[in-house]
Structure 1
Amino acid sequence: MAAAHRALVACALIFHLFYNPTDSGAVQLTQSNLDMTLASNELVFINFYAEWCRFSNILQPIFDDAADKVASLFPDQGRVVMGKVDCDKENTIATRFHISKYPTLKVIRNGQPTKREFRGQRSVDAFADFVKKQLEDPIKEFNSLNELAELDSAKRTIVGYFDRRDMPEYNIFRRVATSLKEDCQFYVGFGEVTAQMHPPGHPIIVFRADKSRSNDKDVTFMGNLNNFDEAHIWVQEKCVPLVREITFENAEELTEEGLPFLILFHSPDDTTIIKKYNDLVTNELLSEKQSINFLTADGKKFEHPLHHLGKSLSDLPLIAIDSFRHMYLFPDIKEMDKPGKLKQFLQDLYSGKLHREFHYGPETPSVEAHQDSNSVEKKTTSPPESTFRKLAPSKNRYTLLRDEL
């Protein structure tokens, strides 16, 4: 009996060491232990690297030291693991996670990959602080309905009204909030605080639009709050807008999506034009969302692209396309809401017309235009080069696979 007990203890110890290694540094993840590690931890922070990559080698000791610090800060099993994947040896894993550059740092929450990579400072303290923030409760509790009137109207918000914290629906809500906390702010109330907002035993969640940027209406989730996938899809659709604000923090991520930008440059306090642009894109350009990224940009923060277009803050608002090769200016923003005008601007990009006209002048069917063989040379111009292309993944920070292979 004692021998059997010892054997059972030994097996349990081996299992624990295999999936929760105690060696210093990040956990080496392979096909044999990856899925179990992802399934048994709330947060897994992974460094995808290649041994031949110079930037991977620079990062490796820093990431390992950070893993040791994180392990000391969060010693409880199941909270967090910092792992690493040798992409040459584990090519299947690299393909599964769509690795396109080395090193890539990805976060997996509750077994689900997050949309965004880690793109912050690469230091031990920065990694540890990032993990701390990731493990914070994504949902803030309100104790009075009056508090909801004071929420930041510039942010998209999901509000939950529940009877109790121990309801299974709240567990689903928390998982959804954990996955999408970068896209929305999440609030919740319990018991008597929310009793007037929902029937007893039937919790609800409500989307509140970013009033300062859009004219979207508040909407109540009508699906099954016990179904994670259903709730997650609905919240994601509400929290990730069709028109996004570009910042220096998300520019690399947006650029890496590979779609040209249609950008509204606006004054910082001009919310009217932002709402108008949002409505126009939603009502007339929705069919183009697979081909173009619809963005707004604070013209004061992004003065450099304006200068490339020959414009300044006094010329705002204006609309431009950045194709990652050149920038093209929409001729007259006063015509943006004329039916088909902005859509034609996009079609002229796809057809190459914008590029041709910048080099050879406006296309014209007139006979006279073709009679003068020098007319083309006289009209030849050069469009401004893309400035947002420079915000793409840096060759001084990554080894880009498309350049290496």
Structure 2
Amino acid sequence: MRPSTLFWSASSLLLAGLVAADASDVLSLTDSDFSSSVDSENLMLVEFFAPWCGHCKALAPHYEEAATELKKKNIKLAKVDCVDQAELCQAHGVQGYPTLKVFRNGTPSDYSGPRKADGIISYMVKQSLPAVTQVNADSLDEFKTADKIIAVAFLPSATDAPAPEFSRAAEKHREDYLFGLSVDPEAAEAAGVTPPAIVLYRGFDDAETTYPYPAASVSSEDLSEWIAGLSIPLIDEVNADNYMVYAQSGKPLAYLFYTLIFSEA
């Protein structure tokens, strides 16, 4: 192989590697394409950041991971560099970094979810769904594992009690949990319940728990309290994302503080 050919091949491989390294599923928006991008999407999460911001740097890998996963569900994540796009960030009321906003067809609302990848994914999936998702025998298995906490009401019909109360609880907690309703007898049979019944599916501790009282007479307040009581793992690592959940749970808590000691092999 001639030297020039070898040099060209090596350069091509290097360039390809750089392109791959820079590949990202997070869209970078500027003033010229911001409105057209967010207005055309039913749902989009946008991070307003500054390159020097330590919290932004900590968020970055989680944001990238969430973008890659949510891309599969056609939910886009974007970012705006507020150093280069100061006027755009000012126009959206950005006062600190990172600021995250959820856009629905161009209309913004504050993001109030976690800052870790799985939390961002969970939050945005909930945002993409109606407060109550219709579930049948074919979709039950997938739906009950779609998040860490899922409540499913199995009813004879969509208007039977406690459908109205179930919907009220779902509207109130749509950012916290997933809610499904099934009027499919085969789905109830697969769940091992007789309608009306409410089953809570969890990704921790006991995987399935049935509401222990007559489901037809449950109020939205009682349902919310029951779900909240089962929404916290018995043992978990406390971090910035879940600290307040435990602190506000009203349950007696025991904390174990420990230090990790790494030894060289």
TM-score (norm 1): 0.31
Greater length-normalized contact order (CA 8 Å, ≥ 6 residues apart): 2
Larger radius of gyration between Structure 1 and Structure 2? 1
TM (norm. structure 2) is: 0.46
